[in-house]
Structure 1
Amino acid sequence: MPNGLTPPPAILIVEDDAEIAGMLAEGFEAAGMSVSIAADGREMDRLIGVESFNLIILDIMLPGEDGLSLCRRLRADAMVPIIMLTALNEELDRIVGLEIGADDYISKPFSPREVLARVRSLLRRAAYAPAPARRGRPLRFEGWRIDPVRRQLHDPADIRVSMTTAEFDLLLAFCHNPGRVITRDELLSLTHAGLAGPIERSVDVHVSRIRQKIEPDPKNPVLLKTVRLGGYVFTAAVDEG
Structure 2
Amino acid sequence: MIHRRILVAGLCAPALARAQATPVRVLGTGAVAASVRDLAGAFAARGGREVLLATANAGVAARRLREGEAADLMLNSADQVARLTADALLDGTTTRELGRMLIGVAVRAGAAHPDISTEAALRAAILAAPMIAHSDPATGATAGTHAARLVERLGIADQMRTRTLVFPGGGAAVQAVAESRAALALTQVSEIIAVPGAVLVGPLPDSAQLVTPYLGAVATRATDRAGAAAFLSFLTGPEGQARFRAAGFAVG
Pick the structure with greater CA Rg: 2
Q: TM exceeds 0.5?
A: no
Higher relative contact order (CA 8 A, sep 6+): 2
What TM-score results when the alignment is normalised by the length of structure 1?
0.29
| Structure with the higher fraction of residues in helix conformation | 2
